[in-house]
Amino acid sequence: MSASGADNRSTGPGGVPRGGRLFLAVLCGGADRPGAELGGLTPFEAAATPHLDALARRGSSAALEVIAPDVPPESDSGAMALLGYDPITHYTGRGPLEGLGMDFWQPDGYSVAFRVNFASWDPVTRRLDRRTSRDLDEDDQTTLVEEITERVSLPDGVAFRLTGFGRHRGILALTSDTVPLSGKVTNTDPGFVSRGPFGVPVNAPAATPATCVPFDDAPAAATTAELVNRFVAASAEVMQASAVNARRRDLGRRAANLLLVRDAGDTLPRLAGFTERTGLSLSMYGQVPAERGLAHLIGARFTRSRPARGQSEPDYYRQLLPELLADPADAVFVHLKGPDEPGHDGRPHDKVRAVEEIDAHFVGPLVEALTEQDTLVVTCDHATPCELGIHSPDLVPAVAVGPRIAADAVTEFGEKAALGGSLGARRASDLLAVLLAGPDGRRR
């Protein structure tokens, strides 16, 4: 952070120095476990991160439990927790936030929304690829969505909205003015099971897609399960016959011929406004529709931010930084996706590279541009250990530097080092309260 002389100004809402801002940088899935390929180190520990390590020496660290020991977070629930809303209390499922984030939610009447995977299913070999090898072109995905939207219909009184993004990801919403719908239905995606409102990844999922069934005896749940199964079957016929998949087969690629749905929900979380709770305005930068939905609920400004097609991560960070610094909000939340996919794919060396790029091209320049009145926090929304390839409930490291944060004895950024920190937050939902506490430890 650049020097700016002594700060004689009074504090603003929440104890943040007037004129200073709060930056919360979230490294998606960055936390990990020690691995043999990295000599018994985690990617954070193996990576060359001089700027993150300098923050650790100047500030205070913590190892945060994002939700609970038995609940692996996703990006939306992790963001909710880091912004001070405990998911155990407030979370109603990923589907509703995704649906709201895409403007698919119907405020009057009935809505149920799902997270979707564009998958590949071969009934002959009984091989299911839940993510279509992660090589579905964005244009081809758009074509499939358009074909499904044009050719699939549901019973009178029920409409669907579908979108795709991020190669294999998508969102489905069912809405109706007159037909009651329910989120109390199971996933067709065998890679996730429902634990209350949380979708929990399965370490060794079944090799076949599941049938959607109701969780309870309510007629709305039975109706919704029937609609889901009908939609999945009808959309599979369209996808199987698509020229997109004929071309993929000719190229030796797996057909994207099945939609897997999970994380159903029919109720939006009820959340107090961020400014109402903290006295600070908030701006969020991310690429997940559920984050946009969360921003809408808490009154934050949302900017969709991701690398352009063909753009390198370092170039993206160089483009992003001026936008963050020019943002007028008191608090700025930014979600950086880089480390997550190497974790899902079991590529620890690529995860190290992703962390090093963030350190060199994002953290370093950001620290240089901030003032002594600003507060910077770097942490993760969840762990994606390379040995698992899925999210886990492992603790995530956090470091905070700012004018009201005393330095502790931690000298590097990483999972093990953070255990020795004294930041004072044990759970992610406690972090904001600690950062915004006054000098006597009480919230201003």
Q: Are 130 and 260 in contact (CB under 8 A)?
A: yes
CA atoms of 346 and 385, how far apart (whole Å): 8
State residue 11's pLDDT score.
43
Please name every residue paired with 235 in a beta bridge, in sequence order, or none if there are none.
none
State residue 6's pLDDT score.
30
Q: How far is CA 150 from the centre of its chain?
A: 30
> 243 vs 141, 246, 257, CA distance in Å?
12, 5, 11
CA atoms of 343 and 75, how far apart (whole Å): 14
pLDDT tens digits for the chain (444 residues)?
Answer: 433 333 333 344 444 444 599 999 999 999 999 999 999 999 999 999 999 999 999 999 999 999 999 999 999 999 999 999 999 999 999 999 999 999 999 989 999 999 999 999 998 888 899 887 678 988 999 999 999 999 999 999 999 999 998 778 999 999 999 999 999 999 999 999 999 999 998 888 888 999 999 999 999 999 999 999 999 999 999 999 999 999 999 999 999 999 999 999 999 999 999 999 999 999 999 998 999 999 999 999 999 999 998 999 999 999 999 999 999 999 999 999 999 999 999 999 999 999 999 999 999 999 999 999 999 999 999 999 999 999 999 999 999 999 999 999 999 999 999 999 999 999 999 999 999 984 444 443
Q: How many helices (H) and strands (E) does the chain have?
A: 16, 14
CA atoms of 272 and 257, how far apart (whole Å): 41
Please name every residue paired with 164 in a beta bridge, in sequence order, or none if there are none.
170
Q: Are 203 and 388 in contact (CB under 8 A)?
A: yes
* pTM for this prediction: 0.91
φ, ψ of residue 130 in degrees (nearest 5): -65, -20
- Residue 407 has, within 13 A of its CA and on its CB side, a CA count of 10
Task: For the chain, report the end-to-end CA distance as a whole number of angstroms.
Answer: 25
State residue 8's pLDDT score.
30
State residue 293's pLDDT score.
97
- The CA angle 408-413-414, to the nearest 5 degrees, is 115
CB within 8 A of 319, min separation 6: which ones? Answer: 311
CA atoms of 162 and 152, how far apart (whole Å): 11
Neighbours of 299 (CB within 10 A): 15
State residue 16's pLDDT score.
46
State residue 19's pLDDT score.
55
State residue 313's pLDDT score.
96
How is 152-202 classified by DSSP, letter by letter? ---STT-EEEEEEETTTEEEEEEEESSS---S-B--S-TTEEEETTEEEE-
Number of residues in the chain:
444
State residue 5's pLDDT score.
30
